[in-house]
Amino acid sequence: MEPRNFLRFLFFPLTLGILVLFFTWLTFTHAPPSAVELLDCATNSPWCTSKNRIQHQPPNQPVTPKSTRLRDHTLDTPHHPLDPLTVQEIRKIRTLLSSHALFRASPYSLHTVELEEPEKSLVIGWKKGDPLPPRKATVVARARGASHVLTVDLSTEEVTVHQTGKHSGYPMMTVEDMTTATVVPLTSAEFNRTIVGRGVNLTDLACLPISLGWFGKAEEGRRLIKVQCYSMKDTVNFYMRPIEGLTVTVDLDTKQVVKISDKGKTIPIPKASNTDYRFSTMEQNRVMDILNPISLEQPKGPSFVIEDDHLVKWANWEFHLKPDARAGVIISRAKIRDPDSGELRNVMYKGLASELFVPYMDPTDAWYFKTYMDAGEYGFGLEAMPLDPLNDCPRNAYYMDGVFAAADGTPYVRSNMVCVFESYGGDIAWRHAESPITGMDIREVRPKVTLVVRMAASVANYDYIVDWEFQTDGLIRIKVGLSGILMVKGTEYENTNQIPNEDNIYGTLLSENVIGVIHDHYITFYLDMDVDGSDNSFAKVHIERVKNSQGDSSTPRRSYLKATKKVAKTEKEAQIKLKLYDPSEFHVFNPTKKTRVGNPVGYKVVPGGTAASLLDLDDPPQKRGAFTNNQIWVTPYNRSELWAGGLFVYQSHGEDTLAVWSDR
């Protein structure tokens, strides 16, 4: 798109792929633990108990874990305009809201309490030592049976209620919502009888809160959730033991059971044997020798520093980092130092995981609604569990906590939510060797060392590992790893020879009475590119074949490839569907800034492993997940258009998505 006085947003839906961008020392305020500290098991035993990747102690030596050191955030203060809300600020917000007319006379719940970031121009113009812009918070709340968006000014103590009800849908669930949903069914005598009738003791019951998407008027006007349950008897891996076909619909606001459906009375609960994934259990049945320890040593400590809790500096990179309840992490103001002038040059104003769409392909009663939006419904940050030192992150990693607000406004800390570390895996960043025929004995090699920002979200059965990786050559790579456990379906079949040819089981028989249902994971990243300033354009460089005529005697070649660059003038022209037989490059560039040879300065966007959704465009889940219709979207700057599935995703109809914005 042609440059204007605003930056472009790029949205990249990936199917658990990799998004790659190519570019054409102080003291820690809170220092990472040193290697000596980490290996002092007298005071840090949790750091020394790894039994898989790094073993400091003999495999069979018992270890008694102690509490991991927790940092006190009570006295934290903001240092940067983009710093997240502090414990003290969240407490003040709670006090101000409790005296507001909207919340005084009725129960309420706070679903989002986050920094309302200042205008972009103020952030760009701010320099260290300047006064901070006024601190404000955006609050999304449920009160009096409705959703509300408010701004709380922490300086003036004013609370502003914004217009609501423009779109369908509800806010992201709170942790309290999810907990309540799993308890409500136990208040139903019918549910309890059904569970016992299926041969499960209530003390062995584990239940999951499952968002139900949107499929019609029957779900209108009520904030609903589905609950399905599993047997924990003889295993911690209850996901492998579904009470198939039993689904409870719960009203989250009234906290009552709306409907109980049991379509799986004849389906047995899968067996528990060989389902426990804990190392202590698997070690007893181990057939592979434990690998020798592997460790990255940094005798002088790490090369990166964290200033004022959130400003990361490493090699030639500098960026702001903060945890986020919905996105997991937010990278802001990413800059790289020019190797010639030494100046910091802007690359990206803001980057985050915008949404994750997970539709299952089983249309039956207990499965059709499983079309999750993991960020907008559950919250990547809310579901981020503490990272395990030496296993999730290597030695010398720096750990950052998340500070969030509970449904009643009370601040709480999610410890070790994000880690920052230097990574070296024996890879090569660059090399060149001269052949002996040149008469030169040259072998030049540069090892590849990168800086990684990592978080892991445990959204029920699946664990998503999201890495933002920075390289010294200016490359930014986003990696998404999928781990955890499959969500499986119970079945009466124990062997494939029992399945009739005409029976569609919507997946694969994985074990006796267990089906792995076909499904997808589409994760969409929001990148607010700011390459050498805000005047950025988007171009598609198409690679096409050119044929030489038979009469052309200047070359024996009959064909060659030609690159044609087309700058997008509209949002429609910037919507990209990747095609194997339409090879192209995608550039974000600043036409007002040139290299020394006259080319515009920019980045190349290189999508990784991705795929298009094959669902019908009129299918309700696809309407809500319409941002997967293209693999790249480019839109004008609009600070409210941050979430590809819309602000209120839960039970939304899909009228506030990236696809809708782009058609305006």
Return d(Cα 20, Cα 303) in angstroms, integer. 23
The sign of the dihedral angle between the CA atoms of 52, 57, 59, 64 is: negative
Return d(Cα 618, Cα 628) in angstroms, integer. 13
Return d(Cα 315, Cα 471) in angstroms, integer. 9
79, two tokens:
């240092």
Give SS3 for 650: strand
Question: Active-site residue 374, yes or no?
Answer: yes
Return d(Cα 271, Cα 275) in angstroms, integer. 8
The sign of the dihedral angle between the CA atoms of 509, 515, 518, 524 is: negative
* CB within 8 Å of 272: residues ≥ 6 apart: 231, 233, 234, 235, 240, 241
DSSP structural state of residue 128? T
Q: Considering 108, 462, 526, 650, which one is annotated as catalytic?
A: 462
Q: Which residues of 348-367 are buried (b: 16+ CB within 10 A; e: fewer)?
A: bbbbbbbbbbbbbbbeeebb
Return d(Cα 139, Cα 116) in angstroms, integer. 9
Q: How are strands ordered across the β-sheet holding 507-511?
A: 488-490, 514-517, 507-511
* Contact between 302 and 71 (Cβ < 8 Å): no
Chain centroid to CA 74: 27
131 φ, ψ (degrees, to nearest 5): -65, 145
353, two tokens:
């995981």
* CB within 8 Å of 105: residues ≥ 6 apart: none
DSSP string, 332-397: EEEEEE-TTT--EEEEEEEEEEEEEEEEB---STTTTT-EEEIIIII-TTTTBPPP-BTTTB-TT-
Question: Active-site residue 340, yes or no?
Answer: no
Q: Considering 374, 392, 467, 530, which one is annotated as catalytic?
A: 374
Return d(Cα 522, Cα 575) in angstroms, integer. 17
* CB within 8 Å of 42: residues ≥ 6 apart: none
Helices (H) and strands (E) in the chain, counts: 9, 32
590, two tokens:
């600043």
483, two tokens:
């781990």
DSSP structural state of residue 4? B
Return d(Cα 549, Cα 555) in angstroms, integer. 10
List residues bridging with 480 in a β-sheet. Answer: 466
List residues bridging with 91 in a β-sheet. Answer: none
* CB within 8 Å of 287: residues ≥ 6 apart: none
Give SS3 for 586: strand
DSSP string, 393-419: B-TT-EEEEEEEE-TTS-EEEEEEEEE
* Contact between 374 and 353 (Cβ < 8 Å): no
Other C-beta atoms within 10 Å of 575: how many?
A: 18
Return d(Cα 86, Cα 73) in angstroms, integer. 8
Which of the residues are catalytic? 374, 462
